[in-house]
Amino acid sequence: MNNAEIWNNVALCCFYSSQYDMTIHCFEKALALAVDEGMADVWYNVGHVAIAIGDIGLAYQAFKIAVSVDASHAESYNNLGVLELKRGSFEQARSNFQVAERLAPELHEPKYNSALIAFDAGDYEESVEMANSALETLPGHEDSSDLLRQLEKILSLL
């Protein structure tokens, strides 16, 4: 078999085994063979590799390309939200998380990330709602549980 999905996975295997020169080659092969949905997945993984090597600019571009190829790629919207948050663009981050939530209600990450933004903004009610939603999606998510415990302490003091 010679398809984008296989080359995408081989690229990730190469990256995680420190075969960086092969990683690039495999991603190039994956992109050459990819069509629409598969191409978005390849760019999404390129974004993850870029984050891992510290190239946030490349990561941002890769996630932007992923959503331009597939406007329903919720994971890329979520990661764009995280990068926007790091840039200090809270409204853009919130918007990306909302898009990700709307596109893929089964994902817990955008809900948890929205809960964090609401918490930082002092909107504790929204934060509780989103953290609970994240826990409904992924019961036992420790970070969501920790956030809820923090919120309970804060709300009990008010």
- Hey, what are 153's tokens? 């302490």
| Closest CA relative to residue 58, chosen from 27, 34, 30 | 27
Decide if 144 contacts 135 (C-beta within 8 A).
yes
Q: What is the pLDDT of residue 99?
A: 98
Q: What is the DSSP string of the chain?
A: ---HHHHHHHHHHHHHTT-HHHHHHHHHHHHHH--HHHHHHHHHHHHHHHHHHT-HHHHHHHHHHHHHH-TT-HHHHHHHHHHHHHHT-HHHHHHHHHHHHHH-TT-SHHHHHHHHHHHHTT-HHHHHHHHHHHHHHSTT-HHHHHHHHHHHHHHHH-
Domain ranges of the chain: 1-70, 72-158
pLDDT of residue 37: 72
The dotted CATH code for 1-70 is 1.25.40.10
Q: What is the pTM of this model?
A: 0.92
Report the alpha-carbon distance of residue 8 to residue 119 in Å, rounded. 36
pLDDT value at residue 115: 97
Give the pLDDT confidence score for residue 127 in this predicted structure.
97
Per-residue confidence (pLDDT) for residue 47, from 0 to 100 = 98
Residues of the chain with pLDDT under 50: none
Q: Do domains 1-70 and 72-158 have the same CATH topology?
A: yes
Please check whether residue 110 is in contact with residue 74, taking contact to mean a CB–CB distance below 8 angstroms.
Answer: yes
Predicted local confidence at residue 50, as pLDDT: 97
Q: What angle do CA 97, 132, 130 make, to 5 degrees?
A: 25
What are the phi and psi torsion angles at 73 (to 5°)? -85, 85
Residue 32 has a pLDDT of 95
Residues 68-85 have pLDDT tens digits of 999 999 999 999 999 999
CATH top-level class of 72-158: mainly alpha
